[in-house]
Structure 1
Amino acid sequence: MEKMMDKRAFADEEIMAAFLSIEIAYFYILMGKDKKEQEKTGTK
């Protein structure tokens, strides 16, 4: 029973880490798009 719980906790941690990295990547992509849009319009 203990091994099953450990496995499940580990899987949850991996899923959370994957979600976090996806969110961070998405955030950087959005920030990059915002910067490009601002350069086009000439505003800072």
Structure 2
Amino acid sequence: MLFNPSMDENDKNTFSELIEDLLDTIYKQGSLIPRLATHTNQA
């Protein structure tokens, strides 16, 4: 399997778009995990 992402910024399927979507998904998953620190009052 070979993936050659477009380097054109106007294209929808660019490498930077792929990385941004991946990081966004990671941050959203992190929000589903309860915090362990009780002193921050962010629970």
TM-score calculated relative to the size of structure 1: 0.48
TM-score normalised by the chain length of structure 2: 0.49
The structure with the largest alpha-carbon Rg is 1
